[in-house]
Amino acid sequence: MTVSSAPGKVYLFGEHAVVYGEPAVPCAIERRARVTVEQRADDKLRVQADNLSLDGFTVEYGGRTDGHPDVDVPEHLITAAMGYVDEAIEQVRDVTEEPDAGFDVIIESDIPLGAGLGSSAAVVVAAIDAATRELGATLEVDELAERAFQTEYAVQDGQASRADTFCSATGGAVRVEGEDCRRIDAPDLPIVIGFDGGAGETGELVSGVRALREEYAFAADTVETIGNVVRRGEAALEDGNLEEVGRLMDFNHGLLSALGVSSRSLDTMVWAARDADALGAKLTGAGGGGCIVALDQTEASETALRFTPGCEDAFRAELAETGVKRLE
């Protein structure tokens, strides 16, 4: 039996634009997915998933993803979660050259599904790491990140970027631009997260941005402008200028909203944090619902979010300096 964990993430800058080769800067946070893997005597795959939302639920199925568990969360999230695990195991079978390997997999997570905090990337990274080690192989972090990216790329029909999986595998603050992925220096970030209890459909949101970009030249310009914001934000991070980082986060949220990926609940939480004098606030991830990230060195934003209609939870999140952890 082997156990690995991997962190979730928030985007300081660059979601959606990163799909078109623009840079993005996500940061790993200490909200983790923990995956336990034990090899079976047959070629079956059995997955038990616990606490894949802040409230928690359990899914069990045997074999491939031909079952439809009865749980009180959107079916597309469950289907996606099961698909990520299946594809991750296919990557493991490929890299270890054991095509008939079967596994019992237990997933425990405190990262809400589909909420913009990188739940799928964390599960995929931890699952691939644990399962390969269960078969006697240990991947270098760069290869682990690449295998995890290939998993998300397959499940998301070629619309994934390397940002989430690289960040989860390596930890810290990272810069991703196309295939160029690297860690960058960042100060201690006073991260506050607001969660509306919902989730957007990543595929639909990415497709919506693609359609706008193809129809309107100014939408393509908006995507390019997000890339320029990211470059300024990266410089501000490396200078330790949190006030500038916050201002640029605000700018990034406005551009994402113009591309149609925000929502009433996300905007409400963003403005609640800003009204509480956060340095900056924006949606994080695909959008459509889920989470916002704010920077606030005081307790004001977290308190304001807790009393904001439509905000289900608010919490602080420390930067995760370590990515994948090999626990057993």
Kindly indicate the confidence band of residue 78, based on its pLDDT and cuts at 50, 70 and 90. low
Q: What is the pLDDT of residue 126?
A: 97
**DSSP annotation of 95:** H
- Report the CATH fold assignment for 2-185: Ribosomal Protein S5; domain 2 (3.30.230)
Q: What is the mean pLDDT of residues 259-288?
A: 96
> Which residues fall within 8 angstroms of residue 31, CB to CB, at 6 or more apart?
7, 8, 110, 111, 117, 317
Residue 315 is inside which H or E element, if any?
strand 313-317
Q: Looking at the predicted structure, is the pLDDT value of residue 82 above 70?
A: yes
Single pTM value for the model = 0.87
Domain spans in the chain, listed from the N-terminal domain onward: 2-185, 191-317
Share of the chain above pLDDT 70, in %: 90
Q: What is the pLDDT of residue 151?
A: 93
Q: Which CA distances in Å does 162 have to 129, 148, 165, 300? A: 17, 9, 6, 34
| Rg, the chain, Cα only | 19
Tell me the average pLDDT of the chain. Answer: 89
Q: What is the mean pLDDT of residues 286-313?
A: 96
Kindly indicate the confidence band of residue 62, based on its pLDDT and cuts at 50, 70 and 90. very low
Length of the chain (residues): 328
Kindly indicate the confidence band of residue 306, based on its pLDDT and cuts at 50, 70 and 90. very high
Q: Looking at the predicted structure, is the pLDDT value of residue 5 above 70?
A: yes
Which residue is catalytic, options 164, 250, 275, 313?
164
Give me the amino acid identity at 2.
T
Q: What is the mean pLDDT of residues 87-112?
A: 92
Clarify whether 104 is annotated catalytic: no
Q: Looking at the predicted structure, is the pLDDT value of residue 96 above 80?
A: yes
Q: What is the pLDDT of residue 114?
A: 75
Q: What is the mean pLDDT of residues 242-257?
A: 98
Q: What is the mean pLDDT of residues 49-58?
A: 50
Q: What is the pLDDT of residue 150?
A: 94
- The two tokens of residue 163 are 């940002």
Which residue bears the tokens 């998993």? 151
What is the distance of C-alpha 36 from the center of its chain? 20
Kindly indicate the confidence band of residue 260, based on its pLDDT and cuts at 50, 70 and 90. very high
Which residue bears the tokens 């916002």? 292
- Looking at domain 191-317, its CATH architecture is 2-Layer Sandwich (3.30)
Q: Do domains 2-185 and 191-317 have the same CATH topology?
A: no
